[in-house]
Homo-oligomer: A and B are copies of this chain.
Amino acid sequence: MIAVGERINGMFLDVKKAIKKQDAGSIADLARRQLAAGATYLDINVGTAAADQEATMRWLVETVQAAVDAPITLDSQKLPVLQAGLDAHDGKRPVMLNSCSADPDALDTYIPLAKKHDASLITLTKDKTGVPQDVDTRILHAATIVQKAVEHDYAIDKLFIDPIILPIRVDQKQPDFLLQVMQQVRLISDPPPHLMMGLSNLSQGGAERHLINRTFLVMAIAAGLDSAIVDVFDTELMNAAITAEMLMNHHIYSDSFLKAARA
């Protein structure tokens, strides 16, 4: 699984403080510890910590790049903030943009931008009318996304489709719907786009968050999910993901499969 470490996000109090104090050491530490815990990419999101989000994105990207060699995910709903992150990107590591909607206008802006910077792109199955609550509309959005990628000659293996998991408190039918969407999206093209999920949203505001998150992650991996934005410090979650991928025959079983996957 491509595990995008979620912790460098200004919504977390420690990161918010580090941004305010321009405390590079704390950010570097979070970057290193997430990599040690199994992160493939490091998500960078300024959150609501700073008045100048673009400058903050630049500072975070530079700080992370100075600390580690890892791939980064630039995470903002604002295009200028993503652009600021791309400007600061050193070009020496893979970069991913998080995220773009399935509106044709948005896709016509974001896909060429991603292509120009050789960046991967997370695309959400929603449009101006909002997040669909059903299976079919999500599939239609996914089809629009893939079609736009083809139009722009954008490599499908750089495309990450996120079908948007809603909190279990909001609608309990959604997890099953998401699994159906994932299974169908894997059939949309050959090779298929990646499937991405912002996992923690599932258990937002509820109890037993770790248990719920890792249980659904296992189901999603069986349905074809190959990447997720997660709390990589949750060891049980990471073990569940490794075990799920081993059971799906994505890496070889041995008695030390957990250790081997982490190596």
Cβ-based interface call for A66 (8 A): no
Cβ-based interface call for A211 (8 A): yes
Could you say which residues of chain B place their CB within 8 Å of the CB of A175? 247-249
Could you say which residues of chain B place their CB within 8 Å of the CB of A176? 222, 247-249
Q: Is the interface of A mostly helix, strand, loop or mixed?
A: helix
Cβ-based interface call for A253 (8 A): yes
**A219, B247: Cβ atoms under 8 Å?**
yes
Could you say which residues of chain B place their CB within 8 Å of the CB of A223? 222
| Copies of this chain, count | 2
Within 8 A of B (CB), among A145-192: 168-169, 172-173, 175-176, 179
Convert A244-263 into 0s and 1s, putting 1 for each residue whose CB lies closer than 8 angstroms to a CB of B: 10111100110111100000
Residue total for A at the interface (Cβ-Cβ under 8 A): 32
Give Cα distance in the complex from A111 to B135, angstroms: 40
CB < 8 Å neighbour of A173 from B211, B212, B249: B249
Cβ-based interface call for A239 (8 A): yes
Give me the interface of A with B, judged by CB distance under 8 Å: 168-169, 172-173, 175-176, 179, 206-208, 211-212, 215-216, 218-219, 222-223, 239-240, 243-244, 246-249, 252-253, 255-258
Contacts A/B (CB < 8 Å), 19 sampled? A168-B253, A172-B246, A175-B247, A175-B248, A175-B249, A206-B253, A207-B255, A207-B256, A211-B240, A211-B258, A212-B243, A215-B218, A215-B244, A215-B247, A218-B219, A219-B219, A219-B244, A219-B247, A222-B223
